[in-house]
Each structure stands twice: as structure tokens, then as C-alpha cells.
Amino acid sequence: MADTKTAIVTGGSRGIGREVCLRLAALGYNIAIVYVGDENEANDTIAECNKKGVTAKAYVCNVASFEETKATVAEIRKDFGNDIEFLVNNAGITRDGLIAFMKESDWDSVLSVNLKGAFNMIRHTAALFIKNKGGRIVNISSVSGLMGNAGQANYSASKAGIVGLTKATARELAPKGITCNAVAPGFIHTDMTKNITEDNSELLKTIPLGKMGEASDVASAVVFLLTSPYITGEVLRVDGGIAM
């Protein structure tokens, strides 16, 4: 395994994260998936990665926990070695509600998973990237974080926070040869959006390209940024034009 570089993908068990894992596996990267939830989904992603000839392993870990993420990164280094090149902070949740009625716990859990989760993972990998004199980070934001979305104050705040986290990290780590970028998807077909359908013409009207996107559309942008040595601090929209 020594010659093969490793990518860590949070939320890699399904949806956009799974698509990112498969793209990186096709490029020859070993894959460490950090997730919670359905083990079968994670095993499916691992099997698909294995078919591309790389090693993949899934770690059950709540990214919102500083201690769990610290232990998981240590475990990944033990399993895969220190040649970790990519970190993709993709794990995310929604707990939608109107702000006048939003439960404190819904605010806290969305901020903890979506924003603190990305901080935790960067916090526990940055020293290794610095030691390795390189590393690439991509954080998944959202158009909700760029424009705001009614009924999603917690989610929009977390995803706007990702933009600030990305730019500060990019500035701080650039002298060490490490890049940090964000991708801001619009409406993408995954489990997270299974309640949104394109029959809803009001939704379609907000998308200049007139349709929802696919996880593979987002994965293409993630891989582009991971493999671009001279782009840092960028927020790349993959949204059919919603937030232009």
C-alpha cells in the first residue's frame, strides 16, 4: 500500500460522497470513508472501489465529535499510512424549519455536523499535510449558504460558515503548499433531496438549466479542485445556474 496515496471522504457511504469515492478510486487512490448510518451502503461503496483495484475501508465516526474524529484519523493513518493527499468534507445533514419555531437542538446538530465536522477533520489532518508538504482539501457547501434559503436558517448558516472556513484555511495553509476549496451544489438527486421532485414546477423555475443535478456532476467539480494545484480559496457552484 506504500506507493498508493489515500483520500479521506466524509459521508462517502452514499450520495455525492459515494460518487467522489468512485472517481478517486478510478484515479488509483485508496479510500477511507468516514460515515454514520447504514453499513450496507458503506459496504456497497467499498465493493465498488475495490472493483477499481484500490483498497477502501469505512470508519463509523460522528464528524461532529472532536475526539471521535481525532481517533478515526489516527486509525486511518495506522491502516493506510501517512501518505494522505486528499480530504473531502462532504458529510452533511438537514433539519429544516422556520426560524421562529426552530428547535435549539436542530440548530445545534446541523452546525455541529456540517460546520464543526469540517473543522474537526481539517484540525486532525492539517499537521500531517504540513509535514507531507502538500495536501488538498475540498469542503462541500451549498447554494443555501451563498443565497440563504427560507426554512433552512441552520443549514444556510452552516454552509455559509463552510465558505469562511474554506477561505481562512486556504490562506493559512497556502504557504505550506496545501489548497482548500469548496463546492456549492444546488438541487442534486440524492437521498437528502428525495422529497423534492421535479414535478414541482416552482422549483424548476428557479433553476436556469431547468433540471436537478446528479451526484456525478458534483463529484466532477470535487475531483477538478482536488487535482488543480493553482486554485485555492475558490467556491465552485454546481447548481444549474441558481446562484449566479
- Which residues of the shown chain bind ligand NAI in the complex (CB under 6 A)? 10-11, 13-17, 34-37, 62-64, 90-93, 113, 140, 142, 185, 187-188, 190-193
Q: Which of 194, 122, 106, 213 is nearest to 158 (CA)?
A: 106
Q: State in angstroms the smallest separation of the CB of 61 from ligand NAI.
A: 6
Q: How far is the CB of 20 from ligand NAI (least distance, A)?
A: 9
Length of the chain: 244
> Facing residues of 138 across strands?
88, 181
- Comparing CB distances to ligand NAI, the nearer of 79 and 214 is 214
Catalytic site residues?
Answer: 155
Residue placing its CB nearer to ligand NAI in the complex, 103 or 131: 103
> CA of 119: how far to CAs of 115, 137, 169, 195, in Å?
6, 11, 10, 29
Q: Interhelix angle for 117-132 vs 66-80, to 10°?
A: 40
Give Cβ neighbours of residue 193 (< 8 Å, ≥ 6 apart): 187, 212
Burial of residue 201 (number of CB atoms within 10 Å: 0-12, 13-18, 19+): exposed
- Please identify, using beta-carbon distances, which residue of 150 and 174 lies nearer to ligand NAI: 150
Closer to ligand NAI by CB, 126 or 212: give it. 212
User: 88, 7 in Cβ contact below 8 A?
Assistant: yes
